[in-house]
């Protein structure tokens, strides 16, 4: 296929080489202020460093999935991931995929010392269960308790973002201050299909790690109190009738599906459905669980 990645295979397990992903969100702005991807903000929150955005690691899974399922991966592929440990620039990450048969696999990524970065599932069968379906269902059964940062959010809230696209040379707002071309210059697993129409669809395609950029580049759910900084906890990206194409205009419909909290964060889940603006066809879905650090909110009760 189109990846030049060296893949090791041991039975049903495919493993890619170690890669050092690049930090591209150091200049990210959150409601006009520096985000958790800034070294100073990360230090104030007691983090080991400014984290690299979680979806960056999805690119290391793509060659493994293509090795197993071919170009079908970009048409109906799904990565469903729980992020375990953040990665900072300079650290190496190794991704693996274990074939379970019937169009489904387990995926994982670890640091050099074995520290887990992410765990989850990958699939090309739209009916296959995913890792996050269970995690979301469990959280939906829990009482979220008293909330102070996301208390104005209600399950069922919806937002529609029209005219969203990923252009090759246009940046993606304060939340993602880089262009696709800049991302492709740094991506861990280059693929000519991301830049050229010399592929099965005759159009340059958007990498899976950029699906969440498309659905998150505009303001998220309104009502979150500021200032507050957060991170991705869980992310599932699914090509329903993919791939997504560079420069194509899409409409994004976002719905709040769950709220909750843990000791350090308040959190919320959104499901973003992506539609081709020309045809109205549902082409992708992004399920995102975001956490907002309680310590980032001034005078948070009990801290």
Q: Which pLDDT does position 57 carry in this prediction?
A: 98
Is 2 contained in some domain? no
Identify the CATH number of the domain in which residue 200 sits. Answer: 3.10.129.10
Is 107 contained in some domain? yes
Is 201 contained in some domain? yes
Distance CA(86)–CA(233), nearest Å, equals 10
Q: Which pLDDT does position 1 carry in this prediction?
A: 55
Domain residues for the domain of 81 are 8-124+131-296
Average pLDDT per consecutive 10 residues, the chain (303 residues; last block may be shorter): 89 98 86 79 82 96 97 98 96 98 98 97 97 96 96 94 92 91 97 95 97 87 87 97 97 96 96 96 98 92 85
Distance CA(174)–CA(172), nearest Å, equals 7
Q: Which pLDDT does position 47 carry in this prediction?
A: 83
Is 155 contained in some domain? yes
Tally of structural domains, the chain: 1
Residues 6+ apart with CB under 8 A from 105: 65, 68, 97, 98, 99, 121, 122, 123
Q: Is the peptide bond before 125 cis (omega within 30 degrees of 0)?
A: no
Is 242 contained in some domain? yes
Q: Which pLDDT does position 219 carry in this prediction?
A: 60
Phi, psi of 63 (to 5 degrees): -60, -35
Assign 19 to helix, strand or coil. Answer: strand
Is 302 contained in some domain? no
Is 301 contained in some domain? no
What is the helix, strand, coil percentage profile of the chain, to 5?
A: 20, 35, 45
Is 24 contained in some domain? yes
């Amino acid at each position: 296929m189109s990846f030049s990645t060296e893949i090791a295979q041991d039975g049903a397990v495919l493993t890619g080489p170690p890669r050092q992903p690049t930090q591209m969100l150091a200049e990210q702005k959150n409601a006009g202020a520096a985000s958790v991807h800034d070294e100073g903000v990360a230090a104030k929150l007691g983090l080991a460093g400014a984290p690299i955005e979680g979806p960056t690691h999805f690119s290391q899974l793509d060659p493994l999935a293509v090795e197993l399922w071919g170009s079908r991966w970009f048409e109906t592929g799904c990565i469903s991931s729980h992020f375990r440990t953040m990665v900072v620039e300079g650290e190496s990450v190794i991704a693996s995929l274990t074939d379970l048969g019937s169009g489904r696999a387990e995926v994982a990524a670890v640091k050099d010392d074995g520290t887990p970065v992410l765990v989850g599932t990958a699939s090309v069968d739209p009916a296959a269960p995913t890792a996050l379906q269970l995690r979301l269902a469990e959280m939906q059964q829990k009482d979220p308790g008293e909330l102070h940062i996301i208390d104005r959010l209600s399950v069922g809230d919806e937002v529609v973002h029209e005219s969203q696209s990923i252009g090759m040379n246009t940046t993606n707002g304060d939340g993602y201050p880089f262009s696709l071309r800049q991302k492709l210059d740094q991506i861990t697993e280059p693929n000519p299909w991301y830049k050229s129409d010399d592929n099965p669809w005759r159009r340059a395609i958007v990498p899976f790690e950029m699906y969440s950029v498309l659905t998150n580049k505009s303001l998220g759910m309104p009502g979150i109190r500021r200032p507050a900084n957060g991170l991705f906890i869980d992310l599932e990206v699914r090509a329903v009738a993919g791939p997504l194409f560079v420069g194509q205009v899409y409409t994004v419909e976002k719905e709040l599906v769950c709220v909750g909290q843990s000791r350090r964060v308040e959190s919320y889940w959104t499901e973003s459905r992506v539609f081709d603006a020309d045809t109205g066809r549902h082409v992708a879905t992004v399920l995102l669980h975001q956490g907002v650090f309680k310590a980032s909110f001034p005078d948070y009760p009990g801290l």
